Amino acid sequence: MELDDKNYLLLHQKAFVIDSACPLGSLENYFRLWMDGGATAMAPTVAVDNSSHETIGLIAKWLKKIEKHSNDLLLVTLPEDLYKAKQEKKLGIIFHFQNSLPVESDLNLLSVYHRLGVRIIQLCYNVKNFIGDGCDERTDCGLSEFGIHAIKEMNRLGILVDLTHSGHQTTMEAIQTSERPVIFSHSNVYELCPSPRNLKDDQIKAVAEKDGVIGVVAYPTFVAKKKHTTVEDLVHHIDYIKDLVGVRHIGIGLDYWEGMDGIASKEEANRLYTQLISTGKWKEHSYPPPPWRYPEGIEEPTRLPNLTKALLKRGYSEEEILLILGGNFLRVYKEVWK
C-alpha cells in the first residue's frame, strides 16, 4: 500500500536507511548529520591511498571514536548489527576503504583488516593500482593477476567488493571473477549524465546479474550536467536503473564530503581541488571546480527524508522505497559478510 505524502516521515523512520559512501562522516563529529537525517547506518571512508601502517592508525581512531560515543554509534560487522543499531536508535558504522592501496601487495593484510572490522573495499580510485585500472586511467586494461586473487580472498573472508571509481574492463572482469554479489557503492547512470564515473548499461546489467546493488550518488557533477541539480534529477537515475534491471538493485551512496558547499569555505574547497588535480587523483574533465552544491532538497545528510518524499511523489511503493533506502544493501550484506 502506498503512503500519503504527509506520512513520508513515518516511512523514513520505518526504513533501514543505509548510506554506502560517506567521506564526510569520517571527519570530526559530522556523523551526527546522518543521525539527524534518520540514517540507520553509514559507511565512512576509513582509508583511500594510505599505507597499511597509516590505515591501521585510522581504524584505531575510528574504534576509539565509536567507544567514546557508544551511546550513539555501533560498529557493524554482521547484518545482525544493523538490526541492533535500528532497535537501539544508534548509527551503525560500516568500515569502508575507497581504494585497495592499503592492501599494498600483501593479501594477508585483508585478513588483518577483516579482523579489525573492515567490510567493504573499493578496488580502485580513478587511477591504476595493483588490482586494476581506475575509471579515469588512460588505459582500460582490466584486472591484474593480483586483483583476481584479491577478489577471491575478499570472497573467502566476507569482504564486499566495491567497483565504484574502477575502469570499465576492471569492473566487468571483477563481476565475472567474484563468486558473491558486488556493489557500486556510489555511482550513477552514464546515459543520463555522461562521465567516466558513471555506469554504462552493460555494467548495470552485469552487477544486477550478480545480484548486486548500485548506490546512486548525489555528487552534483554525476547527477546532471547543469548548474543547479535537484533531488528529482537524482530520482531520474533511480527510475532508469529500475526500468533497466529492477528496483532490487538500487541503493543510496550519496557521497557527502568535506569539500561540499555548506561545509567547506570557498578557500578550503579551492585548496582541496588544486590538491586533488595536482596529484592526478582527479581529472578536470571529470571533476569541474567548486562550488560543489549538492542537489536541492538533499543538500546534506540531515535532509535524507526528502529523498523518501521524492520517491513517494514519483509513485514508488512503500515496499520499493524500503528496498532502495537500505533493504537491498542489507540483502547483499547477508549474502557476503561472515
34 pLDDT tier (thresholds 50, 70, 90) = very high
- Say yes or no to pLDDT of 1 above 50: no
Q: What CATH number matches the domain at 5-256+294-336, 3.20.20.140, 3.10.180.10, 1.10.132.20, 1.10.3720.10?
A: 3.20.20.140
C-alpha cell at 317: 511503493
**pTM (two decimals):** 0.97
Query: Per residue in 268-304, pLDDT tens?
Result: 999 999 999 999 999 999 999 999 999 999 999 999 9
> For residue range 185-240, what is the model confidence (pLDDT) as tens digits?
999 999 999 999 999 999 999 999 999 999 999 999 999 999 899 999 999 999 99
Q: What is the mean pLDDT of residues 161-183?
A: 98
Across residues 28-42, what is the average pLDDT? 97
Q: Among 54, 57, 51, which residue's Cα sits nearest to residue 106? A: 51
**Residue 6: its pLDDT value, please?**
67
* pLDDT at residue 4, as a whole number: 59
- The dihedral sign for the CA sequence 220, 226, 230, 232: negative
Predicted confidence (pLDDT) at residue 3 exceeds the cutoff of 60: no
Cell readout for 97 is 576503504
Phi, psi (rounded to 5 degrees) for 21: -150, 110
How much is the pLDDT for 113?
98
Residue 99: name the closest of 67, 139, 132, 70 by CA.
Answer: 132
68 contact partners, CB below 8 Å, separation of at least 6: none
SS (H, E, C) 100-162: CHHHCCCCHHHHHHHHCCEEEEECCECECCCCCCECCCCCCCCCCHHHHHHHHHHHHHCCEEE
How far is 11 from 9, CA to CA, in rounded Å? 5
| Residue pLDDT, tens place only, 123-144 | 999 999 999 999 999 999 999 9
pLDDT at 2 (0 to 100): 46
**Which of 192, 208, 196, 193 lies closest to 170 in space, CA to CA?**
196
CA distances from 290 to 5, 167, 261, 268, 278 (A): 34, 25, 8, 10, 15
8 A C-beta contact, residue 293 and residue 261: yes
